[in-house]
Amino acid sequence: MYVLASYIIVEKYFFIKRKGYANAPKVELEYVVVHLDLKGAPPKLAYLASLLPMMKKHGVNGLLIEYEDMFPYDGVLENLRRWNSYKKEELHAYLVAAVSSGFEIIPLIQTFGHMEFALKHPHYDFLREAPKFPESICPSILESQHFLEEMIKQIISFHQKIAPLNYIHVGCDEVSPINKCNLCRRRNSTNEELLTEHVHFLVETVHLLSPTTTVLIWDDMYRDVKPMDCSNLILTDTEVVYWDFTAKPHEDVHINMNKYGRMFDNIWIATAFKGADGRESILPDLNVRFYNHLYWLDFIFNYGTMKKLYKFKGIILTGWSRYDHDSPLCEILPASIPSLIINLILIQKYTSGIVVENMNELDVFIDEHIENNLDSSLLCQNRSKRFLNAFNSKKCRYEESDLYTTLQLLSNAYKCFVLKNNASNDDESSIEYENVGNVQNQMETCLRIFNELCKITFDKEIIGLLSDYFENEVILEYIRSKIRSLQENIKRIVPIFSIK
Ligand SMILES: [Zn+2]
């Protein structure tokens, strides 16, 4: 999901100037969905359950649950499940609670690319598109189809015991390698044709089990299709989820939207509230996350509500836990609650007819419509405003605020001390500093952060703060990937800083 995403410093995006929409027509979105990415680091279900009332209060009515290896597969697929995957009964109880609170449950399973969780097993490696790469499954092998049919069957059967399954997301993003093996190449199809044929198979499989379920797919594999060629790629009974996590629209957005409007019945938009600000990021960049949501809402308002060019079915706030199966953990869910709430408040404004009239007055809009609501939601008092500059969690009393405060220090320390080493790790002259630029100019800030770090026993502090949200294995991984690497890098950098 991230190869195409770029992590840019926010510049103000020049939106079309409008006036007179203080009571604008409402942005109509049937679904506001939060993505729960469980990749190998699932939050405790009790914690996920505790978030339901907050999400509901802020207008969420759907959950896109990306199970990967956390789904309790059984029978012939038993070896797909991670040893600490959710137990059937517990997952069932959580989903029942969510459905009873009015949430639409949309399971997400990868069925083409990003299939490392399955294809890494020797038992399934013969299904790979390219023998050395566990990312993609070959769609031309009969056994691949049987394997995917079984996955889909178990997912649908489990969810239908709880509520009718209206949607299932089958992934299909960033499929690479694709169309490489002899079987696929003999089909003499373009990558997009191959994908379309594969999605037809997936839709048929889903409909045999559940005729009323609509299939969702990510859009990115169709971005390079020329508009004149998309008539061969029309997918009925399939809806596309157009994802872009950057802070300003990609220049091809209009061309793509025009294609998708012709190829699919409905278009969904996917933003990101976490997991799109760097592979090793500790906290979401509130600034980038806000502009990402703002530009998409402005787009939907302009082209869905006002010009009625496209029908936007819903918005999915994605929250990635890792960039892929083997990547380190990025921002964890409890550290991303402020980002989630800020952007849900923004969506609620647009869906109730309060939109940004003029981007030159964005600060006024934020003061009037976002900041106070944020204070109220996160129990903050006398927080120095605005969140776009810095979010002062010390002034807030929401459940995860202490964690946020500690991780802010960790995040700042990363910016000072986490290094990008070149091939030779021992060559200190090759050290580069992430996000800091000129180290000398940042010396004073980094020294202050270093001194603050010295006062904290991070391991203990983090274990205490995370134990409400994650099992030990996840916490240990977090400490290993974030704190150990920080400590090691500090050890290396201290001589350079001449700190005793
Ligand atoms: Zn193949």
pLDDT tens, residue by residue, 171-187? 999 999 999 999 999 99
Would strands 128-130 and 133-137 be described as parallel, antiparallel, or unpaired? antiparallel
* Cα–Cα–Cα angle for 67, 81, 142, rounded to 5 degrees: 85
pLDDT above 80: residue 267: yes
**Mutual orientation of helices 88-100 and 45-57 as an angle, nearest 10°?**
10
User: How is domain 31-378 classified at the CATH fold level?
Assistant: TIM Barrel (3.20.20)
Residue 174 annotated among the catalytic residues of the structure: yes
How far does the centroid of ligand 1 lie from the alpha carbon of residue 425, in Å?
A: 39
Residue 495's pLDDT is 63
Per-residue pLDDT, averaged over 452-469, amounts to 83
pLDDT attached to residue 22:
61
Q: At residue 273, does pLDDT exceed 90?
A: yes
Sort 481 into a burial class: Cβ within 10 Å, 0-12 / 13-18 / 19+.
middle
Rank 155-164, 433-442, 460-469, 490-499 by mean pLDDT and report only the highest: 155-164
**CB half-sphere exposure, 448, CA atoms < 13 A:** 5
Distance 185 CA to ligand 1 centre (A): 7
Is the pLDDT confidence value at 107 over 60? yes
pLDDT confidence of residue 261: 93
- Structure token pair of residue 227: 């508009």
Q: How far apart are CA 388 and CA 395, in angstroms?
A: 16
Query: What is the distance in A from the centroid of ligand 1 to the CA of 323?
Result: 24
Q: Which residues surround ligand 1, an ion (CB under 5 A)?
A: 129, 138, 140, 181, 183-184
Distances from the Cα of 397 to the Cα of 166, 381, 393, 460, angstroms = 38, 9, 8, 21
Catalytic residue among 66, 174, 192, 371: 174
Mean pLDDT value of segment 157-182: 98
**What's the average model confidence in pLDDT over 93-109?**
98
Least confident of 96-105, 114-123, 326-335, 443-452: 443-452
Measure the CA dihedral 333/335/338/339, to 10°: -60
Distance 179 CA to ligand 1 centre (A): 6
Q: Is the pLDDT of residue 441 over 80?
A: no
Q: How far is the CA of 147 from the centre of ligand 1 (A)?
A: 15
- Per-residue pLDDT tens digits for 390-428: 899 999 999 999 999 999 988 888 877 764 433 334 433
